[in-house]
């Protein structure tokens, strides 16, 4: 069926779609068969939803939002429901979206009561004069846009609560080194990249951040250039991993810049940044990258990264390790 579709499209503009559900210490040993099946099913649902919209002619921005909304609504991922807990035991959510055609972008950081932060990021892009709104300012803006609110407890999940308790029980010294030392820490941010029938790229990312993060900490996910970037002249990128490194190394924008200015393939640029730039300095994580011809690459330097894609030939891939 997939192949038929591709040939029916003939020489037309290719469409392609990819998502991630976070990178980290994901091994066969610490992921039960049942959990793995649930995660694969949810990734499949989200990637098919986004791709299906592209096929129907919806924009890359729409497909990105739809897939991320599905993942935010699932407790399996660290975004929306299932978000990690801050040191104070709350959830603070970050999200961003970028339009590769116009280089417009929208982002929210530290929101506590927004059911689907990716949708608010889109509203910031489309209906404000700003790129990023934070905290209560973002929530006030959300009210004016008719965005759906949720109690902070709605994002609770048993598994993230246990991770928080375990992290909190550590000594002060270990807590300081927590991000670097805790081997069974799992990330779990979600993201999507899309190429639509008009040749427009888009990227989006949504997260609860990192377990035990300080109140007010903002990671890379809502930062345009760090966790998210899209430019029709090069590629679309959504990142996941240890945010502080992704901010300092300007990861998403660096990948696009290598493609744009050095003429490298998106695959080479992404692999170099993940394995040759981040890995040596201890920056763990990965990216999903889609170029303007529909080529997808998903490099990561952790044990695993939840990911799924449907390429320009309509071939679906769902991967973890």
Residues with Cβ within 8 Å of residue 36, at least 6 apart in sequence:
320
At 219, list the tokens: 């990671």
Which residues partner with 317 through β-bridges?
A: 309
Report 181-200 residues binding ligand ASP (CB under 6 A). 187-189
Is-catalytic flag, 189?
yes
Q: What is the per-residue binding string for ligand ASP in 7-46, x denoting contact by CB under 6 A? A: ---------------x------------------------
Instruction: Report the residue from 220, 254, 291, 311 that binds ligand ASP according to the rule CB under 6 A.
Output: 220
Q: What is the dihedral of CA 68, 74, 79, 81, to 10 degrees?
A: 130
> Per CB under 6 A, does 209 bind ligand ASP?
yes
Instruction: Report the residue from 100, 110, 204, 241 that binds ligand ASP according to the rule CB under 6 A.
Output: 241
> Residues in the chain, how many?
321
Q: What is the dihedral of CA 183, 188, 189, 195, to 10 degrees?
A: 120
Residues with Cβ within 8 Å of residue 166, at least 6 apart in sequence:
none
Please say which residue, 159 or 316, places its beta carbon nearer to ligand ASP: 159
Question: Which span sits near ligand ASP by CB under 6 A: 40-48, 138-146, 239-247, 305-313?
Answer: 239-247
Report how many residues bind ligand ASP under the rule CB under 6 A: 15
Sign of the torsion formed by the C-alpha atoms of 220, 66, 135 and 103: positive
Please say which residue, 100 or 209, places its beta carbon nearer to ligand ASP: 209
Helices and strands of the chain, counted as H and E runs:
12, 12
Report 58-97 residues binding ligand ASP (CB under 6 A). 78
The one catalytic residue in 69, 86, 189, 302 is: 189
Closest approach of ligand ASP to the CB of residue 189, in Å: 3
Query: Which of 180, 179, 176, 207 lies closest to 191, judged by CA?
Result: 207
Instruction: Report the residue from 119, 206, 240, 301 that binds ligand ASP according to the rule CB under 6 A.
Output: 240
Q: Enumerate binding residues for ligand ASP (CB under 6 A).
A: 22, 78, 187-189, 207, 209-210, 219-221, 227, 240-241, 243
Catalytic machinery residues: 189
């Amino acid at each position: 069926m997939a192949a038929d579709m591709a040939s029916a499209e003939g020489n037309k503009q290719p469409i392609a779609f990819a998502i991630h559900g976070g990178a980290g210490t994901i091994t066969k040993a610490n992921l039960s068969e049942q959990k793995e099946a649930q995660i694969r099913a949810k990734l499949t649902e989200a990637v098919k939803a986004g791709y299906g919209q592209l096929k129907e002619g919806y924009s890359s921005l729409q497909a990105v939002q739809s897939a991320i909304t599905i993942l935010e609504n699932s407790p399996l991922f660290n975004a929306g429901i299932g978000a990690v807990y801050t040191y104070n035991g709350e959830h603070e959510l970050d999200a961003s979206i970028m339009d590769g055609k116009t280089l417009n972008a929208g982002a929210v950081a530290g929101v506590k009561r927004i059911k689907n932060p990716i949708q608010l990021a889109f509203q910031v892009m489309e209906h404000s004069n700003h790129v990023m709104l934070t905290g209560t300012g973002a929530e006030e803006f959300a009210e004016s846009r008719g965005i759906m609110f949720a109690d902070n407890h709605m994002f609770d999940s048993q598994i993230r609560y246990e991770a928080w308790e375990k992290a909190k029980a550590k000594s002060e010294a270990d807590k300081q080194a927590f991000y670097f030392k805790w081997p069974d820490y799992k990330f779990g941010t979600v993201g999507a990249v899309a190429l639509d029938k008009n040749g427009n790229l888009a990227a989006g990312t949504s997260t609860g951040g990192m377990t035990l993060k300080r109140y007010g900490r903002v990671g890379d996910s809502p930062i345009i250039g760090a966790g998210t970037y899209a430019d029709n002249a090069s590629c679309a990128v959504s990142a996941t991993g240890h945010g502080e490194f992704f901010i300092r190394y300007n990861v998403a924008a660096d990948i696009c810049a290598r493609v744009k200015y050095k003429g490298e393939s998106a695959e080479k640029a992404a692999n170099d940044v993940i394995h040759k730039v981040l890995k040596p300095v201890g920056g763990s994580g990965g990216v999903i990258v889609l170029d303007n011809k529909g080529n997808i690459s998903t490099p990561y330097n952790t044990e695993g990264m939840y990911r799924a894609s449907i390429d320009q030939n309509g071939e679906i891939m769902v991967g973890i390790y």
